[in-house]
Amino acid sequence: MVNSVAPRVESLATSGIQSIPKEYVRTKEEQTSITNIFEEEKKEEGPQVPTIDLKEIDSEDIELREKCREELKKAAMDWGVMHLVNHGISDELLERVKKAGEVFFQQPVEEKEKYANDQETGKIAGYGSKLANNASGQLEWEDYFFHLVFPEEKRDMSIWPKTPSDYTEATSEYAKQLRILVTKILSILSIGLGLEEGRLEQEVGGMEELLLQMKINYYPKCPQPELALGVEAHTDVSALTFILHNMVPGLQLFYQGKWVTAKCVPNSIIMHIGDTIEILSNGKYKSILHRGLVNKDKVRISWAVFCEPPKEKIILKPVLEVVSEEEPALFPPRTFAQHIQHKLFRKTQEEFKN
């Protein structure tokens, strides 16, 4: 039997190759828009990803509170992505989470292989690299570590990294605090649609059923960054996604017909509106197309937490209150699992046409 595990990108990157294998080379069309990420990050002209200061999110001062909530709602409707600052999670905890992930990835590949996942059998949690899931067999320039971090009773602690020793404690505490922030954000987005504040939380499964899945993305240095992508263009299927990074730029958003590079904002958390909230809001909140670039000089690491509704228990469709004769439902009812399948199927169809 042929072993179908793709070689780890890290092993490729450190092997001394000067040119990348063909399965990592993007299409000619994609290559035209891949630029030097460090140059892009310096640019001051053109649209910039909004930074939302959450300091007054619960302020006693009604005016300050409303202003803060309005800005968040506007960014969710216009961009669907934003840098959150003063989000209530301490810089110290964010540093611990990042340090723990960095130390895990600094271990030799053989050590990390002890946590390898097995995508073919559906065991997606653990250490992995992307398998080709598209007709062209293209791969992305990244390895990752993926696991469920909340609710606590649904975690599989057997696959959590033992090294470093702080990994479990830092990651668990971060997940717990992030879950509190998720409720706050969902209540503001609910009110922004004219709904009761607990409504969107309820629609995505509430405390018991909303899953927080963490994916640490490890993007090694790439000898030909102009030909590769760390993550190809996609929208997140989640309700919300929260991202930390090691201050190396790479994230790009497709906004008003152009790729815009997200600046690195210290101590911020990047938040994406995912497809799930776009569907529930009937397109009022945007799930933006985004991708990740790589570079020659620096390893980039990002920590993404995807907040996902349960796969089968909930039917995702625009909430009744945001649908009218003037604004009919833009999305057919589907379970979360069906939505994922629909996206994969559509992608395959598009490639088939090309």
pLDDT over threshold 80, residue 346 = no
Tell me the mean pLDDT in the region 305-328. 97
pLDDT, residue 3, reads 41
Name the residue with higher pLDDT: 233 or 344.
233
User: Burial level of 63, CB count in 10 A (0-12/13-18/19+)?
Assistant: exposed
| Domain count of the fold of the chain | 1
- Confidence bin at 291 (pLDDT 50/70/90): very high
Query: Does residue 20 lie within any of the structural domains?
Result: no
Q: Which of 273, 278, 272 is CA-nearest to residue 334?
A: 278
pLDDT, residue 119, reads 84
pLDDT over threshold 70, residue 89 = yes
- Mean pLDDT score across all residues of the chain: 94
pLDDT, residue 271, reads 98
Instruction: Look at the alpha carbons of 321, 212, 266, 274 in this order and tell me if their dihedral is positive or negative.
Output: negative
Residues 2, 142: Cα–Cα separation, whole Å:
22
Query: Does residue 201 lie within any of the structural domains?
Result: yes
175 to each of 48, 64, 161, 201, 247, how far by Cα in Å? 28, 28, 16, 17, 21
Query: What is the extent of the structural domain holding 309?
Result: 38-352
- Confidence bin at 344 (pLDDT 50/70/90): confident
Query: Does residue 7 lie within any of the structural domains?
Result: no
Radius of gyration of the chain (CA): 20
Query: Does residue 82 lie within any of the structural domains?
Result: yes
In the chain, what percentage of residues exceed pLDDT 70?
A: 95
- Confidence bin at 2 (pLDDT 50/70/90): very low
Tell me the mean pLDDT in the region 135-143. 84
Tell me the mean pLDDT in the region 78-100. 98
pLDDT over threshold 60, residue 134 = no
pLDDT over threshold 60, residue 135 = no
Q: What is the helix (H) or strand (E) element at residue 53, kind and residue range? A: strand 51-53
Angle at 88 between CA 82 and CA 90, to 5 degrees: 105
pLDDT, residue 122, reads 85
Name the residue with higher pLDDT: 5 or 253.
253
Lowest mean pLDDT among 112-121, 128-137, 203-212: 128-137
Residues 308, 178: Cα–Cα separation, whole Å:
14
Let me know: does 249 contact 237? Beta carbons within 8 Å.
no
pLDDT digits (tens, 9 = 90+) for 192-238: 999 999 999 999 999 999 999 999 999 999 999 999 999 999 999 99
Tell me the mean pLDDT in the region 312-333. 97
Side by side, the strands of the sheet bearing 258-261 are 231-234, 290-292, 251-255, 258-261
Q: What is the DSSP string of 199-266?
A: HHHHHTTHHHH-EEEEEEEEE---S-TTT--SEEEE---SSEEEEEE-S---EEEEETTEEEEPP--T
Active site residues: 215, 234, 236, 290
Instruction: Give the dihedral of Cα atoms 19, 24, 27, 28; nearest 10 deg.
Output: -10
The DSSP letter of residue 325 is: S
CATH number of the domain encompassing residue 161: 2.60.120.330
Instruction: Look at the alpha carbons of 45, 47, 53, 56 in this order and tell me if their dihedral is positive or negative.
Output: positive
Query: Does residue 24 lie within any of the structural domains?
Result: no
pLDDT, residue 351, reads 56
Let me know: does 197 contact 187? Beta carbons within 8 Å.
yes
Other beta carbons less than 10 A from residue 1's beta carbon: 3
Residues 223, 295: Cα–Cα separation, whole Å:
8
68 to each of 7, 59, 72, 283, how far by Cα in Å? 46, 9, 6, 22
Query: Does residue 171 lie within any of the structural domains?
Result: yes
First to last CA, the chain: 32
Let me know: does 266 contact 87? Beta carbons within 8 Å.
no
* pTM for this model (two decimals): 0.95
Angle at 165 between CA 162 and CA 168, to 5 degrees: 75
158 to each of 74, 162, 270, how far by Cα in Å? 42, 9, 29
